[in-house]
């Protein structure tokens, strides 16, 4: 019996749980993991499958999907025991800038900080754990409720540090469509402001982050 082809679905688990038609791309997981690269940038046009692949990576590595091997049974990555043991074992920070399409810097900065705050809210259980000091608890709550523009560039660096201490494993960070806000900045004339902010954020997150296991970024701009 022919499978249903789900149009526009970008959630890997939704496709697998509903047994929709899926072209097996899980060999990408092995290729990426064995490349040894700390951070990978993939640039392709829209509707090229980037977001789906990011969803696949999250479902494979994230501790939130621990015990969900059923999502990968029958796919190429599940044929190797080494990778079966990796499934659901890493803290994963997954975020997307795809919807940040603002006409000024102030709103763009706010929207980015809003997305970063949601990551802190997602892992709010860290506040009640024993891994944070009193000062870090105060800082964490500040990032959740009132993240300033000065605080934002170090947000993912600090969060990956906390997750490393809690899980005992470095974090995997997935950032989809990193460059959508930058395209809008170029069009609307606030390029220099946003580049300065973004450079600080990306440097601390992907370049000088000792708590990063692997990073993956996708973009829609040709480089």
Whole-angstrom Cα distance, residue 120 to residue 215?
18
On average, the pLDDT of the chain sits at: 93
Please give the sequence-ordered ranges of beta strands (E in DSSP) within the chain, or none if there are none: 39-43, 92-96, 171-176, 212-219
* pLDDT per position as a tens digit, 200-218: 999 999 999 999 999 999 9
Confidence at 1, pLDDT banded by 50, 70, 90: low
Q: What pLDDT, on the 0 to 100 scale, is given for residue 193? A: 95
Which pair of tokens denotes residue 11? 């959630």
Q: What pLDDT, on the 0 to 100 scale, is given for residue 47? A: 72
Instruction: Give me the mean pLDDT over the 169-188 stretch.
Output: 96
Q: What pLDDT, on the 0 to 100 scale, is given for residue 17? A: 87
Whole-angstrom Cα distance, residue 129 to residue 26?
34
Whole-angstrom Cα distance, residue 62 to residue 89?
6
Which pair of tokens denotes residue 63? 């501790």
Q: What pLDDT, on the 0 to 100 scale, is given for residue 165? A: 97
Instruction: Give me the mean pLDDT over the 68-86 stretch.
Output: 94
Contacts of 193 (CB under 8 A, 6+ apart): 105, 185
3-state secondary structure 83-97: HHCCCCCECEEEEEC
Residue 46 DSSP code: T
Residue 45 DSSP code: -
pTM value is 0.93
In the block, tokens 């064995």 appear at: 34
Confidence at 64, pLDDT banded by 50, 70, 90: very high
* pLDDT per position as a tens digit, 102-145: 999 999 999 999 999 999 999 999 999 999 999 999 999 999 98
**C-beta atoms surrounding 129 within 10 Å:** 12
Whether residue 84 is predicted with pLDDT greater than 60 in this model: the reply is yes
Q: Please give the angle made by the CA atoms of 98, 99 and 102, to the nearest 5 degrees.
A: 120
């Amino acid at each position: 019996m022919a499978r249903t082809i789900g149009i526009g679905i970008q959630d890997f688990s939704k496709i697998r749980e509903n047994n929709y038609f899926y072209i097996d791309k899980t060999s990408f997981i092995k290729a990426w993991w064995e490349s040894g690269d700390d951070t990978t940038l993939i640039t392709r046009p829209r509707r090229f499958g980037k977001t789906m692949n990011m969803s696949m990576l999250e479902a494979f590595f994230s501790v939130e999907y621990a015990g969900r091997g059923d999502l990968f049974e029958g796919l190429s990555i599940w044929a190797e025991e080494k990778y079966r043991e990796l499934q659901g074992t890493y803290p994963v920070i997954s975020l997307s800038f795809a919807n940040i399409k603002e006409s000024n810097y102030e709103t763009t900065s706010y929207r980015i900080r809003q997305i970063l705050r949601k990551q802190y809210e997602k892992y709010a259980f860290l506040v009640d754990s024993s891994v944070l000091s009193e000062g870090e608890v105060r800082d964490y709550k500040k990032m959740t409720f009132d993240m300033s523009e000065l605080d934002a560039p170090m947000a993912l660096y600090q969060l990956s540090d906390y997750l490393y201490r809690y899980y005992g494993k470095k974090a995997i960070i997935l950032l989809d469509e990193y460059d959508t806000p930058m395209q809008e900045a170029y069009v609307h004339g606030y390029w220099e402001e946003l580049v300065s902010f973004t450079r600080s954020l990306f440097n601390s997150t992907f370049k000088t982050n000792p708590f990063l296991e692997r990073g993956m970024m996708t973009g829609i701009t040709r480089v």
